[in-house]
Structure 1
Amino acid sequence: MSQSPVTSLAPDPQRWKALTFIAIAQLMVVLDATIVNIALPSAQEDLGISEGNKQWVITAYALAFGGLLLFGGRIADLWGRKRTFVTGLIGFAAASALGGAATGEAMMLGARALQGVFGALLAPAALSLLAVMFTEAKERAKAFGIYGAIAGGGGAVGLILGGFLTEYLNWRWTFFVNIPFAIIAAAGAYFVIREPSEGRNRSPLDIPGVVLSTLGLVALVYGFTRAESDGWSDAVTVTMFVASVVLLAAFVVTEAKVKSPLLPLRVLTERNRGGVYLSLGLAIISMFGLFLFLTYYLQIVQNYSPVKTGFAFLPMIFGMIVGSTQIGTRLMTRVPPRLLMAPGFLLAAVGMLLLTQLEVDTSYAGLILPAQLMLGLGMGTAFMPAMSLATHGVEPRDAGVASAMVNTSQQVGGAIGTALLNTIAASATTAYLTDHAASATTPAAQKLLAAQSMVEGYTTAIWWAVGILVLASAIAFVLVNTGADDGSATASSDGEGVEDAVKIPVVAH
């Protein structure tokens, strides 16, 4: 077996300090996906945002972020990861200041879209910096353990922080809180990060690829967002899905033919990365659905305050941190990634399975707490090797766009999860109400029926989420076949070394 050339980069002595600032930036981006949700009712009332337009506070961010991620990843490869990272942070801070100071609907929606634009620069640059800075196996395991814990638990942190800021200050602080995060991370990154000079992508930008991928992803994310509010058979929803299929198919054809593609198909066709993108996207579908339903259940059915609801997610965060930084980090250099990812997703599915037993008066300590611990442990254990493997063996010049694909799978997964599972829950709730309406003859009985029907909707959707997690586990087990990351060339199941199979220098692994 011939050995491919190995590019050896001298490790940056300040890379652990750099990780601190990358982690701060990643936390800011991830928590921003949920922190605004809790503040939305207050912001809607203050700014006079109509009921029909309130979803755009969330959607404007999701469309810009999801649609521009591949473009942002390639910009990082072309322009430099550190420069793109710092620019994204400064822009995100400015957009957050604009959102916090918003005086009306248009200003708020514009600020949210700008946050999405700069987030699409920032997120892939952060992950690709980790990929090229941490090349030694044990150090890489620790670095990605921290990153994986933040990527998995940041959404729950957003719920806690959003509840606290909304209840004790006001909704504007859910935007202003980003500014110190961004300033600290940008200043630290500017002075500390020493990006390896090798691997800069000097090829011209693939403009057709940018246009097709951006429009295709925007159509896809908007299609799922529209399905949630207007139904799957709505004409605009169907049109968006058809348009996304056509545009993304055209994008793939274009990438196969152009000399310098935005997303080289080699990034997708390597089976381990493909398995990571697919299983991670499916897991995120389940996670976003759970955040949504558990938040509703605790606030509406159990009458928790926003702050109490946020703190109710702490066991999940604790589980993710332990799973990612202790289990995943310690085992990644000893066992193949699929033996962490597949069991991790299965353990999360068992935790989710417990939550199908929710009732109106379910005990938090007796059911919800252990379910969250299992879910967090499983997701943390699976996310950690998944994040590392997503940039496994990738050429340095493709690190940005490979990282962007991780964020894209998460963003699209989140959009699908929110729309699909919410639709399933709504249908089950309506069916339960219809079947039992005749028995609710008093106001007290009607109130109880309303709560029972909501819980029936949540548990029905959670059953689907369990199935999706089992599928994610199966995909990870079947497709991910690389060996343990022990710092040497790892063998794939067909007997070829991974580095030989993809014919690239081992700079990002």
Structure 2
Amino acid sequence: MRWLLPVALTVQFMVALDMSVVNVALPDMRADLGFTPQGLLWVVNAYALAFGGLLMLGGRLADLLGSRPVLIGGLVLFGAASLAGGLAGSPGMLLAARAVQGVGAAALAPVAFALIAIAFPAGPARSRALGLWGMAGAAGGAVGVLAGGVLTDAAGWRAVMLVNVPIVAFALFASLRTGPTAGPAGPGARLDVAGALLATCGTTLLVLGLVGTSTHPWGSARTLCTLGGAALLLVAFVVVEQRTAHPLLRPGLLKGRPVLTANLFCLLLSSGQFAAFYFVSLCLQQVLGYGPTAAGIAFLPFCAGVVVGSVIATRTVAALGTRRLLALGGSLAALGIAGFAVTARTDGSFLTFVLGPSVVSAVGIGMCFVPLGTAATTDVEAGETGMASGLLNSARQVGGSLGLAVLVTVAAQVSGDSSRPADLVSGYATAFWAAAGLLAAGTLAALVLLPRDRGAGTATASGTGTATAPVTGPAGVPVAGPEDLRKRSAGDADPAVSRPTRG
């Protein structure tokens, strides 16, 4: 099992890396392959749409087929698409490769989280693993900005696609040495085909409508029809899930306050965080005159801050508990992003504009990963970790797209069509304040919705204590723990452990 954590972290890093690594290379892709300005946007959007639309399905497939087949299949798909993208000779081939990358990422991201939830018991071991998982995701996003500039300058745009091939090779090598992981669900479990189609189409339309607001106004017929269609499909999905015997998303899963709060908090956190750092990048390049590589380097303090925050969370979660740690981390993140609004100026510098707010916000964001992962898997049945993981990752992806779409509009309303640095800064500062408000709303939700934490050292339902008492389901029935799952996957089922009934 010693290879399991490196596999999960590598997958999380790679999936986050490919969200941002192509951004700096877009002008070179356009010049080499002949993209139109509108077509170039789909190099980013094709990945985001496939990734966001299929996350729920990817998480449920991990529950039904087992973690290992979905992990290996996702890695092979992601690696093959990366190789094809690096060798692409036309815009259509590159866009197809990016879409297939998104499909692979939708299978891999839920598995990475589920492997940690399955393999590490509640307590310090899981807290450390979740802290590292959060670091890997944040580092992948930040390193992607830097690596995209460096690789494009040194070896051309194709390198930003081909860089995934050795990463996939390592992950495949390590995955074959992980030992037994969670096996497939029982013989009675089936894939909810109707729910999968509705969730995939609904989420894809939602992300499509949100990312399309960069070129189509919110009031345009295209945007209204896309978002309206997404709403209808998602409502239909909810109705179907309440009536099917084997739902893609069990309705009772969100009845638990910790799970509901974790997903709401993740949605708001991602909305504010993604948008804020998008505007930091724009401000650095369009106002302060940074080049792409220099702008990427400027994000390194953010990586360091996330590491510090994750370490703090790992060491204090047993003492503070999920509720207080989420509230503290969310407050720091909101304060740091508000700092960008205060320090954004046309004559700003790295020290005044980037360093302080980046570190404060990153420490706060890093502190949220451990309690988020704990809350998102509270009272979740052993066979539904992929479901819970897919839900949390969907909240993150949709939140990021929603926040970016809304705050780009907010900034544009203030700065208008002007390209004057002073006008741009005014628009960016307004967006930073709005992003800080989203994080503050997430903090308030954690304080209001989460139950008060018990004292340190006790085994709480949220898994924040240091004891190792069994986690129980909604009806008080013990949920199978990691050791039980390892026995089952090895064919040595423990008759003393019964599968909990559905809530």
Q: Does 1:240 align with 2:226?
A: yes
Q: Say whether the 8 Å CA contact 2:75–2:171 is kept in structure 1.
A: yes
Q: Does 1:194 align with 2:180?
A: yes
Q: 1:345-380 deviations in whole A, cap 9, x for unaligned?
A: 111111111111200111211332011000100000
Q: Match of 2:338, SS?
A: helix
Q: Shift in Å at residue 58 of structure 1?
A: 1.1
- Percent identity between the two aligned chains: 36
Q: What is the aligned counterpart of 1:344 among 320, 329, 334?
A: 329
The 1:425/1:69 distance shift into structure 2, 3 A limit, reads: same
Q: Does 1:104 align with 2:77?
A: no
Q: 1:186-218 deviations in whole A, cap 9, x for unaligned?
A: 110112242044865751111110111111101
Partner of 2:118: 132
Structure-2 separation of matches of 1:482 and 1:181: 42
Q: Say whether the 8 Å CA contact 2:309–2:365 is kept in structure 1.
A: yes
Q: Shift in Å at residue 503 of structure 1?
A: 4.1
Q: 1:219-240 deviations in whole A, cap 9, x for unaligned?
A: 1101111122211011011011
Q: What is the aligned counterpart of 1:505 among 474, 478, 484?
A: 478
Q: Does 1:414 align with 2:395?
A: no
Aligned amino acid, residue 387 of structure 2: V
Structure-1 separation of matches of 2:336 and 2:12: 26
Q: Say whether the 8 Å CA contact 1:228–1:420 is kept in structure 2.
A: no
The 1:349/1:491 distance shift into structure 2, 3 A limit, reads: closer
Q: Say whether the 8 Å CA contact 2:199–2:233 is kept in structure 1.
A: yes
Q: Does 1:468 align with 2:423?
A: no
Q: Shift in Å at residue 267 of structure 1?
A: 1.8
Q: 1:302-330 deviations in whole A, cap 9, x for unaligned?
A: 22122211110111110101101x21101
Deviates more, 1:389-398 or 1:371-380: 389-398
Q: Does 1:162 align with 2:148?
A: yes
Q: Does 1:454 align with 2:424?
A: yes
Structure-2 separation of matches of 1:389 and 1:351: 24
Q: Shift in Å at residue 402 of structure 1?
A: 0.6
Q: Say whether the 8 Å CA contact 1:347–1:375 is kept in structure 2.
A: yes
The 1:336/1:508 distance shift into structure 2, 3 A limit, reads: farther
Q: Does 1:386 align with 2:359?
A: no
Q: What is the aligned counterpart of 1:488 among 459, 470, 473?
A: 459
The 1:500/1:314 distance shift into structure 2, 3 A limit, reads: same
Q: What is the aligned counterpart of 2:204 among 218, 226, 229?
A: 218
Q: Shift in Å at residue 502 of structure 1?
A: 5.3
Deviates more, 1:260-269 or 1:314-323: 260-269
Structure-2 separation of matches of 1:314 and 1:475: 30
Partner of 1:6: none
Q: Match of 1:490, SS?
A: coil
Q: Say whether the 8 Å CA contact 1:321–1:380 is kept in structure 2.
A: yes
Mark the runs of 5 or more structure 2 residues left unpaired by the alignment: 464-469, 483-503
Structure-1 separation of matches of 2:473 and 2:81: 44
Q: Shift in Å at residue 384 of structure 1?
A: 2.1
The 1:478/1:364 distance shift into structure 2, 3 A limit, reads: same
Q: Match of 2:348, SS?
A: coil
Structure-1 separation of matches of 2:304 and 2:479: 33
State how 1:74-473 maps to structure 2 within 5 Å: 74-197=60-183, 202-324=188-310, 326-357=311-342, 358-430=344-416, 433=418, 450-473=420-443
Partner of 2:486: none
Structure-1 separation of matches of 2:395 and 2:205: 15
Structure-2 separation of matches of 1:401 and 1:56: 28
Aligned amino acid, residue 79 of structure 1: L
Aligned amino acid, residue 91 of structure 2: E
Structure-2 separation of matches of 1:337 and 1:213: 30
Q: Say whether the 8 Å CA contact 2:52–2:207 is kept in structure 1.
A: yes
Q: Say whether the 8 Å CA contact 1:152–1:383 is kept in structure 2.
A: no
Q: Does 1:58 align with 2:44?
A: yes
The 1:153/1:288 distance shift into structure 2, 3 A limit, reads: same
Task: State the Cα RMSD in Å.
Answer: 2.0
Aligned amino acid, residue 168 of structure 1: A
Structure-1 separation of matches of 2:303 and 2:406: 25
The 1:491/1:30 distance shift into structure 2, 3 A limit, reads: closer
Q: Shift in Å at residue 31 of structure 1?
A: 1.1
Q: Say whether the 8 Å CA contact 1:138–1:486 is kept in structure 2.
A: no
Deviates more, 1:192-201 or 1:357-366: 192-201
Structure-2 separation of matches of 1:201 and 1:488: 33
Q: 1:420-455 deviations in whole A, cap 9, x for unaligned?
A: 111111221117x4xxxxxxxxxxxxxxx7111111
Please give the TM-score of this superposition, normalised by the length of structure 1: 0.89
Aligned amino acid, residue 451 of structure 1: P
Q: Say whether the 8 Å CA contact 1:164–1:307 is kept in structure 2.
A: yes
The 1:242/1:201 distance shift into structure 2, 3 A limit, reads: farther
Equivalent pairs counted in the alignment come to: 474
Runs of 4+ that moved beyond 6 A: none
Q: Say whether the 8 Å CA contact 1:482–1:498 is kept in structure 2.
A: no
Structure-2 separation of matches of 1:129 and 1:276: 18
Aligned amino acid, residue 470 of structure 1: A
The 1:125/1:500 distance shift into structure 2, 3 A limit, reads: closer
Structure-2 separation of matches of 1:81 and 1:371: 39
Aligned amino acid, residue 335 of structure 1: L
Q: Shift in Å at residue 56 of structure 1?
A: 1.0
Structure-1 separation of matches of 2:301 and 2:411: 25
Q: Say whether the 8 Å CA contact 1:31–1:157 is kept in structure 2.
A: yes
Q: 1:371-425 deviations in whole A, cap 9, x for unaligned?
A: 1000100000012210232122311211111101111011101111221111111
Q: Say whether the 8 Å CA contact 1:394–1:504 is kept in structure 2.
A: no
Partner of 2:466: none
Structure-2 separation of matches of 1:270 and 1:96: 39
Structure-2 separation of matches of 1:379 and 1:407: 16
Q: Say whether the 8 Å CA contact 1:135–1:507 is kept in structure 2.
A: no
Mark the runs of 5 or more structure 1 residues left unpaired by the alignment: 1-13, 434-448
Structure-2 separation of matches of 1:65 and 1:82: 20
